[in-house]
């Protein structure tokens, strides 16, 4: 009943504000764009918070500020407003006798949420708060919807994600998360550029889905009358560039995978993907250690961070385990001698209630057991390497053991943050693995790769020994901003479609 009452009250407020906007339109331009700001709120505080009342009165410093009204306290002949811009909040004092004729009466009709411009001089109140004493002001944008209540803010999670614009207005914590995200990406670019990697852009629509084992989104190009797929990963295009002679390339890219939504998964996400000729997967383990410390140092001036009350030391070297070693460590009852035996692994998987598909072989069962029993326990920064060839269709086979590849994944706090490997550059081996993937697709595996004939042709020209790496930017930001859900670090996360009446 209270929600219904709140909706009724909100609708009444919206109607009242629409009336005010209608009157403004009747009088002329209701959305003026001539006001120009001269300074931001944080600059005022940084420059003048330490000034005394007497110093400000003597200097008569003029300022023109603009932003959203976050609070309003109307009195008789004088009133106060809290004005918020992109940088901070600043207090404004309106005095009837100081403003142009009639403006104070107009100001009293303005609402919290309105966007205004104010020109005036700086002074300090009796409580020593830096304030702009208005000489003139202008309503720039009329807000038709009331902001959430001051003391409750916007606390409902679904509303925060759907109406991120309101979340950003009301919650400074959210703004700081996305500012940190931008800074992290800038640090990554600086890190990659300093190592002579070339930033490139590759297509986001592919005629052949590939680059990772995942289910793609499908679309259609009308003019060419052809099926296209949103990019699963840029891998195969980036390796084509290495074939072409660019020995160090990277892309910060948007990927799309038609899979579930959770606190760690979003159908659209951001990856850093990079390739380096004449390097191997161990080189990229060291690169990750260096990058993690670089980000931590730039943001926190420390190699140690706190995530959900847990201290994490990001200074390398990190722990390294093969996948089989990890499975044995976290499954003490497993028979080490049968760690690659299909029938044994099949029966062991059934005990763990793992769903087994007809296409699974021993390597895939290992990967399923690892995901079920090990991943969530990898809390400290850890590299898991020597992944089965079966689940690594683009990775180079290990020279001494064809069952595994020279591939690793990087984990922290039970989450995979990166995937890297020495690249498969044998076109015949790659061709056979594509055929194996096609067989799995025909058997019903909707995540299996397609056969990419042009990529095989590129490999036939010669891909030098190369290492590749993909790092999940969203999960990385979660770690460095102490965020528990991927939706907290995406400005507009995927949501079920909202119904409007």
Both tokens of residue 371?
């995901």
Enclosing H/E stretch for 74: strand 62-74
Whether omega for the bond prior to residue 317 falls within 30 degrees of 0, making it cis, is: yes
Question: CB within 8 A of 356, min separation 6: which ones?
Answer: 346, 349, 350, 365, 368
Detail the DSSP E strand segments found in 125-260. 130-141, 198-199, 205-206, 218-221, 226-230, 248-256
pTM, rounded to two decimals? 0.91
List helix spans (H) across 196-341.
235-243, 281-300, 323-330
- One pLDDT digit (tens) per residue for the chain, 501 residues: 445 445 558 899 999 999 999 999 999 999 999 999 999 999 999 999 999 999 999 999 999 999 999 999 999 899 999 999 999 999 999 999 999 999 999 999 999 999 999 999 999 999 999 999 999 999 999 999 999 875 455 568 888 999 999 999 999 999 999 999 999 999 999 999 999 999 999 999 999 988 887 889 999 999 999 999 999 999 999 999 999 999 999 999 999 999 888 888 899 999 999 999 999 999 999 999 999 999 999 999 999 999 999 999 999 899 999 999 999 999 999 999 999 999 999 999 999 999 999 889 999 999 999 999 999 999 999 999 999 999 999 999 999 999 999 999 999 999 999 999 999 999 999 999 999 888 888 887 877 888 999 999 999 999 999 999 999 999 999 999 999 999 999 999 988 888 876
Reduce the DSSP state of residue 449 to 3 states and report it. coil
- Domains in the chain (CATH in brackets) are 2-147 (2.40.50.140), 170-331+374-489 (3.30.930.10)
Instruction: From 306, 302, 202, select the one nearest 252 (Cα to Cα).
Output: 202
List helix spans (H) across 301-403.
323-330, 342-351, 362-373
């Amino acid at each position: 009943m209270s929600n219904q009452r709140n909706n009724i009250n909100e609708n009444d407020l919206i109607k009242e504000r629409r009336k005010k906007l209608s009157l403004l339109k009747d009088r002329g331009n209701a959305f003026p764009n001539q006001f120009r700001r001269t300074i931001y709120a944080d600059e005022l505080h940084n420059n003048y918070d330490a000034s005394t009342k007497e110093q400000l009165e003597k200097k008569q410093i003029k300022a023109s500020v603009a932003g959203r009204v976050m609070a309003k306290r109307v009195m008789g002949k004088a009133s106060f407003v809290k004005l918020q811009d992109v940088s901070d909040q600043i207090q404004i004092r309106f005095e009837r006798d100081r403003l142009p004729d009639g403006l104070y009466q107009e100001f009293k009709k303005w609402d919290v949420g309105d966007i205004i411009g104010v020109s005036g001089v700086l002074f300090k109140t009796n409580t020593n708060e830096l304030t702009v004493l208005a000489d003139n002001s202008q309503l720039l944008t009329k807000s038709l919807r009331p902001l959430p209540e001051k003391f409750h803010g916007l606390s409902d999670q679904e509303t925060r994600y759907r109406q991120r614009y309101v979340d950003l207005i009301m919650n400074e914590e959210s703004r700081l998360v996305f500012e940190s995200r931008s800074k992290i990406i800038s640090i990554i670019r600086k890190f990659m550029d300093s190592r002579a990697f070339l930033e490139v852009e590759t297509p986001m629509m592919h005629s052949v889905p590939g680059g990772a084992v995942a289910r793609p989104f499908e679309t259609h190009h009308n003019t060419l009358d052809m099926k296209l797929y949103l990019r699963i990963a840029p891998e195969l295009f980036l390796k084509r560039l290495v074939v072409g002679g660019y020995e160090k390339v990277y892309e910060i890219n948007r990927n799309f995978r038609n899979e579930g939504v959770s606190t760690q998964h979003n159908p659209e996400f951001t990856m850093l993907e990079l390739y380096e000729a004449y390097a191997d997967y161990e080189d990229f383990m060291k690169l990750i250690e260096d990058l993690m410390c670089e980000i931590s140092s730039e943001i926190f001036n420390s190699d140690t961070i706190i995530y959900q009350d847990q201290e994490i030391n990001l200074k390398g070297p990190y722990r390294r385990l093969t996948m089989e070693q990890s499975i044995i460590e976290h499954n003490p009852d497993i028979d080490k001698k049968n760690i690659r035996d299909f029938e044994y692994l099949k029966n062991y998987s059934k005990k763990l209630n793992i769903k087994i598909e007809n296409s699974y072989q021993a390597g895939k069962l290992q990967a399923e057991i690892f995901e079920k029993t090990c991943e969530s326990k990898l809390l400290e920064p850890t590299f898991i390497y020597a992944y089965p060839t079966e689940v690594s269709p683009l990775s180079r086979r290990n020279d001494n053991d064809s069952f595994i590849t020279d591939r690793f994944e990087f984990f922290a706090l039970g989450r995979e943050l990166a995937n890297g490997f020495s690249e498969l550059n044998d076109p015949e081996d790659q061709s056979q693995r594509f055929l194996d993937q096609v067989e799995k697709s025909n058997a019903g595996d909707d995540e299996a790769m397609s056969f990419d004939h042009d990529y095989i042709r590129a490999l036939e020209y010669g891909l030098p020994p190369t290492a590749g790496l993909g790092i999940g930017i969203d999960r990385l930001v979660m770690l460095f901003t102490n965020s528990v859900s991927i939706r907290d670090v995406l400005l507009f996360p995927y949501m079920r479609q909202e119904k409007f009446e």
